[in-house]
Amino acid sequence: AQSVTQPDIHITVSEGASLELRCNYSYGATPYLFWYVQSPGQGLQLLLKYFSGDTLVQGIKGFEAEFKRSQSSFNLRKPSVHWSDAAEYFCAVGAVTYKYIFGTGTRLKVLA
Amino acid sequence: DVKVTQSSRYLVKRTGEKVFLECVQDMDHENMFWYRQDPGLGLRLIYFSYDVKMKEKGDIPEGYSVSREKKERFSLILESASTNQTSMYLCASSRQALDEQFFGPGTRLTVL
């Protein structure tokens, strides 16, 4: 069955530290992969997406993600976290036509 | 600036009431979606529509119906609200299947 796993429910980092949020997926074909961010009380905003080509993709707000087919992973990274990055992050797979599978989210807390 | 708007940010209803949640997008997108978001469960697809008057069930359609009479508007209907439908409801739209989704700010519905 198709699935997306975000193993970390909560992550706390200090401002200025690097960040990596994990995402693993289970899907038979080449997936369409997304990372979204949700600030408190808001809808989701796209950070970046991978459809094909270069496996390292750059997104907004200084985020990047790397698609690793052998590990079925699409981890999100940022070299230096800002306090405004505190939010909930969702990984998603575009699966059967029109349908997306979302992970359960990782809530990021940033310490000053 | 592209936009998906939802009719209410907060809504309180009583058990058994009929509830309408409205979503409007101004991007001329073909596809529209309704999700519910619950802590620890991520986003779960209720219904989606890939064209006017067309609708497809998502993963959790029970207790819900939808209407899409115009391209820009997608309504979610709770025929008889129940307490287990207390949740955050998110509307989204996309131009093509499996493309980036644009989300509204969400409606937090409480059923008493």
Total tally of structural domains belonging to chain A: 1
Strands (E), B39-86: 42-51, 54-57, 64-70, 73-78
Give the total residue count for chain B. 112
Residue A95 has pLDDT above 80, yes or no: no
Residues of B in contact with A90 (CB under 8 A): 42-43
A34 in reach of chain B (CB within 8 A)? yes
Mean pLDDT of A54-66: 95
Tell me the per-residue pLDDT of B55-108, one tens digit each, with 9 for 90 and over: 999 999 999 999 999 999 999 999 999 999 999 999 999 998 788 899 999 999
Of the candidate ranges A6-10, A56-60, B51-55, the one whose mean pLDDT is the lowest: B51-55
Identify whether the C-beta of residue A112 lies closer than 8 Å to the C-beta of residue A65: no
Output the pLDDT for position B1. Answer: 66
**Would you call B34 helix, strand, or coil by DSSP?**
strand
Tell me the per-residue pLDDT of B10-66, one tens digit each, with 9 for 90 and over: 999 999 999 999 999 999 999 999 999 998 898 999 999 999 989 999 999 999 999
In angstroms, the separation between the Cα of residue B84 and the nearest Cα of chain A is 19
Confidence of residue B2 (pLDDT cuts 50, 70, 90): low
Placement of tokens 């990596």 in the chain: A20
CATH number at residue A16: 2.60.40.10
Residues of A in contact with B45 (CB under 8 A): 99-100
Output the pLDDT for position B73. Answer: 97
Residue A107 has pLDDT above 90, yes or no: yes
Output the pLDDT for position B99. Answer: 87
A43 to B100: CB separation less than 8 angstroms, yes or no? no
If one compares B31 and B2, the residue with the highest pLDDT of the two is B31
Residues in a beta bridge with B36: B44, B89
Q: What value does the mean pLDDT of chain A take?
A: 92
Output the pLDDT for position B82. Answer: 97
Confidence of residue A4 (pLDDT cuts 50, 70, 90): very high
A42 to B105: CB separation less than 8 angstroms, yes or no? yes
Output the pLDDT for position B18. Answer: 97
What residue in A sits closest to B48 (Cα-Cα)? A98
**Other Cβ atoms within 10 Å of A37 Cβ, number:** 20
Strands (E), B7-101: 10-13, 19-25, 31-38, 42-51, 54-57, 64-70, 73-78, 87-94
B41 in reach of chain A (CB within 8 A)? yes
Residue range B4-103 in CATH 2.60.40.10: yes
B104 in reach of chain A (CB within 8 A)? yes
Q: Which domain holds residue A25?
A: 3-111
Output the pLDDT for position A52. Answer: 84
A100 to B45: CB separation less than 8 angstroms, yes or no? yes
